[in-house]
Amino acid sequence: MERKIRNYFADVWRRGMEYGWINVLYEGQTIMQIWNLPEGAQKKNIVLNFCPYSYGYSLVHRFKTCPYYPDFAAFDSEEDNYMQAAYGTDIDQALKVASYILSNVYEIPALDNLSLELSAPQEKW
């Protein structure tokens, strides 16, 4: 999975696309998205997007008490059901945080299968 994510964003950036995203699915349900979401002049901007509010208080509590929650605190919207954090071009940090959240917040067993849906990169949103 890590290699697919790295290759996808390397291709998005190489081709100069501004928007691209990957849906991470568990048991057929999207539980996380990884986006390239430009911000100002920064065209290479990896963003992790989670929607924990649709899963109940225990998941939200685990999320808000995990060591990476400060990354998401500024973009935590219960009303819109998302939490987001941006990592610029630091794909290593984004993958580390995503892995932690999937295993320790969502509590997905390491041997369970996740699947990826890769969007077609776009120049404009």
Sketch the domain layout of the chain as residue ranges: 2-118
Q: Is the pLDDT of residue 125 over 80?
A: no
- Mean pLDDT on 115-122: 92
The pLDDT score that the predictor gives to residue 56 is 79
Specify the 3-state DSSP secondary structure of 83.
strand
Q: Is the pLDDT of residue 118 over 90?
A: yes
34-50: pLDDT as tens digits: 999 988 878 899 999 99
Specify the 3-state DSSP secondary structure of 53.
helix
CA distances for 36 relative to 85, 94, 124, angstroms? 12, 11, 12
The pLDDT score that the predictor gives to residue 42 is 83
Rounded Cα distance between 8 and 119, Å, is 9
- Give a three-class secondary structure readout of 13-50: HHCCCCEEEEEEEECCEEEEEEEECCECCECCCEEEEE
59-116: pLDDT as tens digits: 899 999 999 999 999 999 888 888 999 999 999 999 999 999 999 999 999 889 999 9
DSSP 97: H
The pLDDT score that the predictor gives to residue 43 is 87
